[in-house]
Amino acid sequence: MTPLKKISLLLTLPLLLFSCKEEKKENTDSKAKSPSATIVDVLIAGAGNIDNKVEVNGAIIPMETVNINPEVSGRLTMLNVPDGGRVTQGAILARINDADLQANLAKTKVLLDMAQKTEERLRKLLAINGINQSEYDLALNQVNSLKADLTVTQAQIDKTIIKAPFSGVLGLRQISPGAYVTPALTLTTLQQVDRVKIDFNVPEFYTNMIRVGASVQIQTNETNLLRKATIVATDPQINPTTRNLRVRAVLDGTAIAPGTFVKVFLEAGKNKNSILVPTNAIIPDARAKKIIVVKGGEGVFVDIETGLRGTGFVEVTKGLNPGDSVVVTGVLFVRPKQPVKVRSVKQLSEIIK
């Protein structure tokens, strides 16, 4: 190799090395700038059947409920109120001291007996014109007056006996034996809970689904178990402020405590051939609900409108077509126009049996 060629090679070598470094740097920058694909699972949107259910909130209330208060003031001589105990209708729960009333009753009975004997004697004398009519009338009025006094005293005695107005479960006792009570003081509560009522409000739009005698399903927050209740009554008019109709249903043989919050489901048949997507595929937004559809390897955000809700699925009434690939996992990590990598594809029929 001539000296001239050596010099030429030495001058060319740095340029080649610099060119390779620049190309490598450009490739590295290009890779850094292109976002990595988000791994997602997709569901092919398809038509399915969904129960036409309307969900509203309701509350359990006792079939019957009452505060147990005395009708008269006095000191308790007997108290039979076991906390949470069951009682039958007419059972004596408490007695108030009635000694003075009993004494007055006994006195009135003696006076009545004497007055009746006097009235009987004067009646015989009147029959033979031994006395005039006015004398007999006074005796008869005395008898009637004492009978009335006897009735009043007996009624006062009856008020000292506190009885259960119906069969049910007692609440917690609020008073002790021997206490002085007044009508303003509540001894306990009594509730009939073998059957309970469910009160709930139905929007005006769905009132055509309400019919006395129809069934509704209820569900508590503690369990997914559905129970069947029967509609027994509705308010005669729709609330003009809320535009809701108040409805009452009855549930038999339940252990649900009064005051429990429940979900009430109204049945109205099935919607057939509805486009369904999983609930977790929907992204709530201030303006509209959205879902992510895979198109051309990218995640595309689509505005949708929803209809009925089923167990884990929502009916899409607008914005989605059968066959669209809907992202069902990784929803929170996908960005608009960002590349996505589909890990698995499922059909609607594989999920809804």
Average pLDDT over the chain, rounded to whole?
A: 86
Q: Is there a single domain that holds both residue 166 and residue 90?
A: yes
User: Quick check: is 152 in a domain?
Assistant: yes
What is the mean predicted confidence (pLDDT) over 314-334? 87
What is the mean predicted confidence (pLDDT) over 181-194? 95
Q: Is there a single domain that holds both residue 79 and residue 175?
A: yes
pLDDT value of position 4: 47
Count how many domains the chain has: 4
Closest CA to 319 of 283, 290, 352: 290
What is the mean predicted confidence (pLDDT) over 31-60? 79
Closest CA to 239 of 200, 196, 268: 200
- Distance, CA of 301 to CA of 334 (rounded, Å): 9
Q: What percent of the chain has pLDDT over 70?
A: 87
Q: Is there a single domain that holds both residue 115 and residue 252?
A: no
pLDDT value of position 353: 59
- Among 31-35, 90-94, 255-259, 300-304, the range scoring the smallest mean pLDDT is 31-35
The model scores a pTM over 0.85: no
- Dihedral angle computed from the Cα positions of residues 107, 111, 113 and 114, in that order, rounded to the nearest 10 degrees: 140
**For residue 1, is pLDDT > 60?**
no
- Distance, CA of 129 to CA of 102 (rounded, Å): 40
Q: Specify the 3-state DSSP secondary structure of 332.
A: helix
CB atoms closer than 10 angstroms to residue 279: 14
- The strand pair at 244-252 and 188-203 is best described as antiparallel
**Structure tokens belonging to residue 346:** 């499922």
Q: Is there a single domain that holds both residue 174 and residue 148?
A: no
Q: Which residues form the domain of 83? A: 71-96+162-186
Q: Is there a single domain that holds both residue 168 and residue 88?
A: yes
Amino acid at 136: Y
User: Quick check: is 196 in a domain?
Assistant: yes
Q: Is there a single domain that holds both residue 229 and residue 216?
A: yes
User: Quick check: is 237 in a domain?
Assistant: yes
**Structure tokens belonging to residue 119:** 């009235």
- The answer to whether 118 touches 142, Cβ cutoff 8 Å, is yes
Chain mean position to CA 201: 11
- The answer to whether 93 touches 171, Cβ cutoff 8 Å, is no
Q: How confident is the model at residue 7 (pLDDT cuts 50, 70, 90)?
A: very low
Q: Is there a single domain that holds both residue 197 and residue 276?
A: no
First to last CA, the chain: 82
The 10s digit of each residue's pLDDT in 114-138 is 999 999 999 999 999 889 999 999 9
pLDDT top residue among 209 and 294? 294
The 10s digit of each residue's pLDDT in 16-43 is 444 545 544 444 454 445 568 889 898 8
Rounded to 5°, angle at Cα 305 from 302 and 311:
105
pLDDT top residue among 348 and 220? 220
